Amino acid sequence: MATTKGSQPCPHPTDNDHAVRMVIILGFLFGAFIGSFLNVCIHRLPRNESIITPPSRCYACGTRVQWRDNLPILGYLILHGRCRWCDTPFSPRYLIMEIAVGVITATVVALAFHGSLPDHENWWWARWPWLLFPREGMPDHGLDFWYPTALIASALATASMLAVVYVMVVAVMTDLDHMIIPDEITLGFQVVAPYLAAFGGSNLLGLDWTTLPLLVNFRPGADGHGHIVYTSTPFLGFVLLCVGVAVALLSLSLRWMREVYSRLPDGEKWHEQDYAHVRKATWWFLATLVLPLLLMAGLALGGNHFQGTTVVAGPTRLSPTTVEVAWPFLVVPYASAPAGLAQAILGALVGWILPWGVGLIGTRFFGKGAMGFGDVKLLAAIGCFLGPIGVIYGFFAGTMIGAVLSIPIYLWNNKLRVPFGPYLAAGCAVVLLFGSAFDRVMGLLLNLGS
């Protein structure tokens, strides 16, 4: 990290390399176990079976799988992919999933921890966007200050990122298998997503709407760097206004929904229970946002203000491209939990309203169901992590990926119907990985406009 360079040499480069390797290996092993569990979820959740009991059994002969055969990857290899008792082959998909989730986990862990380890400038991912560990323009606090807090923050960020990734894996696979994204996954994740996103510190990326000039004061420091201080009352008012508008839009949409779906041809017409389901899911979703909203308001009014999360390097003019957001909450002393919560709440609302609105309008104009409601519930939860701007990027990136891939898929097999969920997840993953690139493009466009 640039700030510590020169102030203190890297203490133990070899220890550090060793630590990184260990973290990656442990990440892979942990991920393989999780992959094994996700296999169970993917198989059982769409069938409305419990994911806890009964323990794994052979689907052919019903014999309970022994613990040693149940070890991820190894179990499959030892048995050559067959049941120990009846010799029925298991799908290689179980093995592939365990390896894939292991690799994904190791990658996330490595990326999340790189910034908390010294001397990471040589790493190819040193500019990893969502690991917004302060790299430049920071006052020099030295390594002693950053190292331990950075580790804690990295652990939190890893947990929060892995949660999103695992949810997306299950959603994608069940959607491909059964055209279902299970409510157990989406509705449950909606409850925890705002806190994971805000305190995991992963969601303060995306075109930084929180730096709207009306809402912040910029305080330049002596060296030309400085931080942004949210002016608490206008900011809180702004967020509450957005929430109010969103709730009004949602309740209007519930009325309009009946008119739209009653016009569909007989086979696709919605039943009374479909309307009831959407209404219930909408109120559930809004209920999950009440506590984060109260927490945000309480923290803001409790005297902390929306303290600046943002450290600006270089020119003092506020623009999306010059603003770099630093870690919220733990690492950076100017941490801002309220800003993270606001980002999560508005991200969730946009993540719900965007696909739901597009779906309603599409259904109205094309005369057939245009959007699965499972996608709406999923994107709302992911929206907490992407923020209100990032979730828009994610939705349109998913739509683009779907549009591009649908041509070769159609040519390959024109009967295959690929659901939107996997494209949506892919779009969101692209934004999680390359969100800052989207920002740069948007920043350029906005600057051209002005």
> What is the binding site for Zn ion (CB under 5 A)?
58, 60-61, 83, 85-86, 88
Q: How far apart (Å, rounded) are the C-alpha atoms in residues 274 and 373?
A: 10
Residues in the chain: 450
CB of 190 to Zn ion, least distance (A): 38
Residue 29 or residue 40: which is nearer to Zn ion going by CB?
Answer: 40
Residue 62 or residue 367: which is nearer to Zn ion going by CB?
Answer: 62
Rg for the chain, CA atoms, rounded = 24
CB of 86 to Zn ion, least distance (A): 3
CB 194 within 8 A of CB 341: yes
CB of 46 to Zn ion, least distance (A): 22
Residue 65 or residue 159: which is nearer to Zn ion going by CB?
Answer: 65
For 246, residues 6+ apart whose C-beta sits below 8 A from its C-beta are: 346, 349, 350, 353
Q: How many CB atoms lie within 10 A of CB 444?
A: 12
Q: How far apart (Å, rounded) are the C-alpha atoms in residues 344 and 193?
A: 8
- The DSSP bridge partners found for residue 431 are none
Residue 33 or residue 85: which is nearer to Zn ion going by CB?
Answer: 85
DSSP state of 418: -
* Alpha-helix runs per DSSP H in 131-211: 142-178, 183-200
- The DSSP bridge partners found for residue 311 are 227, 324
CB of 21 to Zn ion, least distance (A): 38
Residue 59 or residue 410: which is nearer to Zn ion going by CB?
Answer: 59
Q: How far apart (Å, rounded) are the C-alpha atoms in residues 113 and 104?
A: 14
H helices then E strands: how many in the chain? 11, 4
Residue 83 or residue 384: which is nearer to Zn ion going by CB?
Answer: 83
CB of 37 to Zn ion, least distance (A): 21
CB of 64 to Zn ion, least distance (A): 10
